[in-house]
Structure formats: C-alpha cells, structure tokens
Amino acid sequence: MAAQFLADLDALLAEASAAFSAAADGEALEAARIEFLGAAKGRLKAVQKGLGTVAKEDKPAAGKRLNEVKEAIETAFTSAKDRLESAGPAAAGGARFDLTLPGRPLRVGRLHPISQTIDELKDIMGRLGFTPAEGPEIEDERHNFEALNIPLEHPARDPLDNFYLAVAAAGAGTATAPPHQEHAAPLLLRSQTSTVQIRVMERQPPPVRIISLGRVYRPDAADATHYPMFHQMEGLLIDRHATLADLKSVLRMFATGYLGSDVHVRFRPSFFPFTEPSVECDYYWNDRWIEFGGAGMVDPNVLQAVGYDPEEVSGFAFGLGVERLCMRRHGITDIREFYKNDVRFLQQF
Ligand code: DAH
C-alpha cells in the first residue's frame, strides 16, 4: 500500500504546483489553496488519511515523504503568492482597494464669479445700511427713461442703442406690458439699473436706502471691456439732509470694503439727466485711476416724477459696473471670460 500512497503524494504535489502557478489572481490562488491545503476538506488532508493503510514498517519513510510533499506544496503556494504580489496589489487580492490610488475627485459646483461678487457687494453695502431691491429686466420707457428725466429726444433713447422688444414695437405688447399701462407701450431690456430707483420710490415714501444689483443690456459689440449684457450696482439714498459729502463717504467706504484700505476715491464733474450735480467716480488702486461709474445728487425732476417733494427731501444715487469691479479685484483683463463658460476660468473662483 505504501507504493499507492507515495504515488498519490507525488500526483498531489504535481497538481497543486500546477494549480498555484496557473493562478492568475489572488482569488484563483485562494481557491487553489483551499482545494489543496484547506484544513477541513483539503486534498492533502484526504491523501494524508491514506497513511493509515501503509504497512507499519513502511510508515517512517511514508511519513517523511508526506512531510516533504506538504512542505513542497506550501512552498509552491508561497512562491505563487509572491509572484502575484509583485505583479501588483490588485492581482494579489489581499488589498482589494489600493489606499495609495488617488481618489475620484468630487466635482463640487460653485457660484459664478459675478454671483460671488454680487453677494459680496450686498454684504458690504448691507453693513452701510443699504437694503437690496429688485426690478424687472424688461422695462417700459417710463422707468428706463422718462421718470429718470431722459426726454424723448435724448440720444440715450436711440432705438439703435437699446434692445427694444419687437413685440412691443409692433404694438402687440399689451400682454407683456406692466399692469398700470392701459395701452401697448414699447418695452425694452433695461439699459441701466437706475430703473429700480423709480420702482422703489413709486412704492414707498422716503426715507429710502437701497441698492439694486442686476443685469443690464446694451447693443455693444463684445470686446475686452464691452459685452451686450453686464451687471450694475445701483444705489439710492433719499432723506431729509443727504449731501454730496455723504455720497462720497459711502462710495469711499464701499471702495475700501471691496478693494482694501489703500484705495483712493476721486470725483470728476459729469452729466447724467437724473442727477444734478453729476459726477464720475474713479478709484485709484494698484497705481492707476479707474472709472467705476456715475453718481450724483438726485435731480428734483426725478423726485417729482415719483411724487416726492424736492423741498422736503434730497438724495444721492450711484451706478457702478459689477464686472469692472470684479475684473479689477482679480486682475481679469477681458470681460468676455465671464460668459464663455470655460470651466478652467470659472474654477479659479
Ligand atoms: N445709469 C448710469 C449708467 O448706466 C449710471 C449712473 C449714473 C447711475 C449716475 C446713477 C447715477 O444712479 O446717479 O451709465
């Protein structure tokens, strides 16, 4: 019987070695290990039982051979394991996930730089007591021009300089006209946020202290500093004794709040139909004067247009370009970058 037992051992060793070296990954190797070396049902265990049938005088030699084969099978297993491990952790199966692999990036969305700027401007102006107000982007001529003291013959009303809506121009705009208008009136995309001054003053008595941040539209050809749609921050303060000095203080505090304490503010005389006197506001920052927008004391005609008494109240207003502020702050040199939807640009904010 010893001959059979020894033959079984040799066959087992050959099969096990072949199985271990054929294993292509950790899973296959583990299956082979269980098949041959498994503690309960492994084939080595089964063959080992045959030792009982070996004649007594042959037992020492058979037992020795059994131990040799057992060791040889274990060695074959270990070397197969080493082979797979040196091929890579995934193949070895011991570490199913590799902690050293770079993680899958979570794509977190973020606010557009202009939205972030708007939030920040609201925050700064909020600390100065200005509450955000909103108005429609589709406007009538009263709010975009007339109540702002911009008469019919004013060049700002040129149809070529504004986005008039075709439906209104065709006289079919009744459905979209504001409710207070009985007849179809021309509608346009607002060209300035000064419209919101009128809307706010129409619905509340003085005092007023608002800002309005939103889109405005002008048919300008896009270049590095122009875009047919951009954003403005409008400000309006109406009270009993508002002065130009107050305006300057507010704009200076705003500028230092947004750009830092090393900013200087300069007023240059200017003209806007809705302010008297009117100024152009420049900020000096990083060795340059940059024009940020217009401002002035609200013209008495505007106060009258909304039913305020110019003898009782006065006020100031300002309108600043949001893109310009954001460009200055971040060193952006082309306004078109904001609206290309290029993630490589947008990701930087
Ligand atoms: N609406 C003007 C523009 O778009 C900017 C402006 C100037 C707004 C003077 C004002 C102001 O409120 O007082 O160019």
Q: Edge-to-edge strand order for the sheet containing 288-298?
A: 131-132, 208-217, 229-239, 314-321, 288-298, 275-285, 264-272
Distance 212 CA to ligand 1 centre (A): 12
How far apart are the C-alpha atoms of 50 and 43, rounded to whole Å? 11
As given in the structure block, the two tokens for residue 349 are 């904010």
* pLDDT averaged per 10 residues in sequence order, the chain, 349 residues: 88 93 91 92 91 90 92 93 78 66 87 98 98 97 97 92 76 48 77 98 97 97 96 98 95 94 92 97 88 96 97 97 94 96 93
Q: List phi, psi (to 5°) of 90.
A: -65, -40
* Ligand 1 atom 4 nearest Cα: 192
**pLDDT of res. 34:** 94
Question: Identity (one letter) of the amino acid at 53?
Answer: T
| Helix pair 113-127, 322-330: axis angle to 10 deg | 100
Distance 68 CA to ligand 1 centre (A): 97
How far apart are the C-alpha atoms of 337 and 331, rounded to whole Å? 12
Backbone dihedral region of 247: left (phi > 0), alpha (psi from -120 to 50 degrees) or beta? alpha
How far apart are the C-alpha atoms of 79 and 60, rounded to whole Å? 29
What domains does the chain contain, in order, with CATH numbers? 2-86 (no CATH), 113-134+191-346 (3.30.930.10)
**pLDDT of res. 57:** 92
Ligand 1 near 214 CB (within 6 A): no
* Ligand 1 atom 13 nearest Cα: 295
Ligand 1 near 26 CB (within 6 A): no
**pLDDT of res. 180:** 46
Distance 152 CA to ligand 1 centre (A): 18
Q: Is residue 292 within 8 Å of 270, Cβ to Cβ?
A: no
Length of the chain as a residue count: 349
Ligand 1 near 272 CB (within 6 A): yes
**pLDDT of res. 169:** 47
Ligand 1 near 315 CB (within 6 A): no
Distance 168 CA to ligand 1 centre (A): 25
Q: Give the atom of ligand 1 at the shortest distance from the alpha carbon of 275.
A: 13
Q: Please provide the DSSP assignment of 172-222 as one string.
A: --TTTS-TT-SS---EEE-S-THHHHHHHHHHSPSPEEEEEEEEEE--PPP
**pLDDT of res. 101:** 87
Reduce the DSSP state of residue 116 to 3 states and report it.
helix
Sequence-distant (≥ 6) Cβ neighbours of residue 32 within 8 angstroms: 16, 19, 20, 23, 77, 80
Ligand 1 near 317 CB (within 6 A): yes
From 130, 189, 192, mutation site for ligand 1 pocket: most ligand atoms within 8 A of C-beta? 192
As given in the structure block, the two tokens for residue 131 are 């509450």
Helices (H), the chain: 2-22, 26-37, 43-49, 59-87, 89-92, 113-127, 141-144, 166-169, 194-203, 244-259, 300-305, 322-330, 343-346
Distance 336 CA to ligand 1 centre (A): 22
Sequence-distant (≥ 6) Cβ neighbours of residue 127 within 8 angstroms: 257
- The predicted-structure confidence for 8-38, as pLDDT tens digits, reads as follows 999 999 999 999 999 999 899 999 999 999 9
Omega cis (within 30) before 277: yes
